[in-house]
Amino acid sequence: MHLIRFLALVALLALTVAQPARAIGLLRDPDIEYALRQLAAPLLAQAGLGSAGVEILVVDDNSLNAFVVDRNAIFLNAGLIQRMENPAMLQSVIAHEAAHIANGHLMRRPVNMRNARTAAGIGSILAGAAAVAAGSGKAAGAAALGAQTSAQRLFFTHTRAEENAADQSGLRYMAGAGIDTQGALQVLDIFRGQEVLSAGRQDPYARTHPLGSDRYRVVQRLAEAYGDRARDDPTARYWFFRAKGKLSAFQRAPKWTLTRAGESGHPDIKAMREAVAWHRRSDLRRALPLIDTALSHRPEDPFYHELKGQILMESRQFAAAANAYGRAAQLAPRNALILGAYGRALLAQGQTGKALQYLQRAHQRDGRDARVLRDLAAAHAKSGNRGLASVVTAERYALQGRWTDAGIHAERASGLMPRGSGGWQRAQDVLAATRRAAQQNK
């Protein structure tokens, strides 16, 4: 799991309340994101969002929460995923958040999302700021808003009417997809009694998704009414345990993982989790045969090849890592995270031209990955294109909210590139965003 950490800039919330907020990292990993998409796909289809490209992203926070901030993504806290006991529970949360999108609840938010986008077109609130913590084994990310200040609670909190509507729609999506609606009731059982606690002791989910006894009874009645539509889904069980297993393998102590690696009942997931645990103990001799064992069960699985690449890359076996990432890229040629990792391995090997190709493809598919921007700038610099290196560096600093540094590199790029060229215009976009940020901070 190539865990790239991003920190969120919540300057957008200063439009409503000038109070600093705690930034939260979001985790991105190609394997986990694919697994979550498999769990979400039938629900998004039922919600009419199947073609909308809704991402399911993981927040690096151990508290229990899930939320949406626009139509593009559903955010699930790592702690919530770990607390779910079966796929239906996790799918009920996804269904509920999808209902908030489909029912238009986001249109009532106190902040105009369109105005939150920068003049540079660098991205939306989700890409407002990203800072990379490279190298360590945690789970990887885009960018998310904090959820602790009064401003953030105002932004995320749903009304009781919205919650009731999302419950009813979400349960309908689950029933239509043949998913056990008791999962929704099991999730609500976790949060029962939260409203009598002080705000500081409540889980974020209880603060942003009000739960009353009437709401619980409605969900209970609907879950029972839809109960006869549930059908067994081994595929959902597999991807649930794979996502949860990989996430815990990177977040929990290796000793904990090794004692529980086989709990899913799937031999490839067991081998994968053991490989991660030994890798985190810097034991390549044990980790490598285990990831090969996982691959023996699923030889065409791009994400196991990607994990093998990560293990080798972080063990400084660059040539072997590039081979593993290359195979992953062959099997998943449209996955931005895999393409970026392959480009990074090629760059470490000194194959600058080829690395540039894959890094550019990764950036085109996901412009929010600051680590790809860093590698892309290095590749341009090694290729002798100082102007583009400065442009990409300026864009990376803008994503990180480091506006002074962004402005310095954008000015440098403006002087190095032909006036009116594409790269020159990108530099002007960053400069415009820098000026806007300076005005907001006055």
- The full DSSP string for 138-197 is S-----B----SHHHHHHHPPPHHHHHHHHHHHHHHHHHTT--THHHHHHHHHHTTGGGS
Question: Is-contact 38 60, C-beta < 8 A?
Answer: no
Distance separating alpha carbons of residues 2 and 338, to the nearest angstrom: 9
Token reading at 231? 């059908």
Least confident of 137-146, 233-242, 294-303: 137-146
Burial annotation 262-296 (CB, 10 A radius, 16+ → b, else e): eebebebbbbbbbbbbbbbeeebeebbebbebbbe
Could you give phi then psi for residue 278, rounded to 5 degrees? -70, -35
Q: Which has more pLDDT, 48 or 9?
A: 48
Model confidence band, residue 53 (pLDDT cutoffs 50, 70, 90): confident
**pLDDT at res. 110:** 47
Could you give phi then psi for residue 299, rounded to 5 degrees? -65, -20
Q: Which has more pLDDT, 375 or 125?
A: 375
**pLDDT at res. 240:** 98
Distance separating alpha carbons of residues 100 and 353, to the nearest angstrom: 45
**pLDDT at res. 107:** 65
Whether 143 has a pLDDT exceeding 70, the answer reads no
Among 76-80, 137-141, 229-233, the range with the most confident prediction by mean pLDDT is 76-80
Domain 11-229 part of CATH 3.40.1410.10 = no
**pLDDT digit string, tens, across residues 289-323:** 999 999 999 999 999 999 999 999 999 999 999 99
User: Kind and range of the H or E element at 406?
Assistant: helix 403-416
Please, which residues have CB within 8 angstroms of residue 261's CB and are 6 or more apart in sequence? 245, 249, 269, 270, 271, 273, 274, 277
Whether 166 has a pLDDT exceeding 70, the answer reads yes
Whether 429 has a pLDDT exceeding 70, the answer reads yes
Domain 276-286+296-440 part of CATH 1.25.40.10 = yes
**pLDDT digit string, tens, across residues 83-122:** 999 999 999 999 999 999 998 877 655 443 443 333 233 3
What residues does CATH 1.25.40.10 cover in the chain?
A: 276-286+296-440
Burial of 155 (0-12, 13-18, 19+ CB in 10 A): buried
Token reading at 124? 């939306």
Please, which residues have CB within 8 angstroms of residue 362's CB and are 6 or more apart in sequence? 336, 337, 339, 340, 343, 369, 372
**pLDDT at res. 192:** 78
Please, which residues have CB within 8 angstroms of residue 115's CB and are 6 or more apart in sequence? none
Whether 72 has a pLDDT exceeding 90, the answer reads no
Tell me if residue 66 falls in helix, strand or coil. strand
Model confidence band, residue 14 (pLDDT cutoffs 50, 70, 90): very low
**pLDDT at res. 157:** 57
Residue type, 50: G
Token reading at 300? 């065409």
**pLDDT at res. 15:** 26
Whether 185 has a pLDDT exceeding 70, the answer reads yes
Please, which residues have CB within 8 angstroms of residue 57's CB and are 6 or more apart in sequence? 26, 27, 28, 33, 73, 74, 75, 76, 141, 142, 144
What is the mean predicted confidence (pLDDT) over 425-440? 89
What residues does CATH 3.30.2010.10 cover in the chain?
A: 11-229
Tell me if residue 274 falls in helix, strand or coil. helix
**pLDDT digit string, tens, across residues 339-380:** 999 999 999 999 999 999 999 999 999 887 888 999 999 999
Global confidence as pTM: 0.82
Token reading at 361? 């493809």
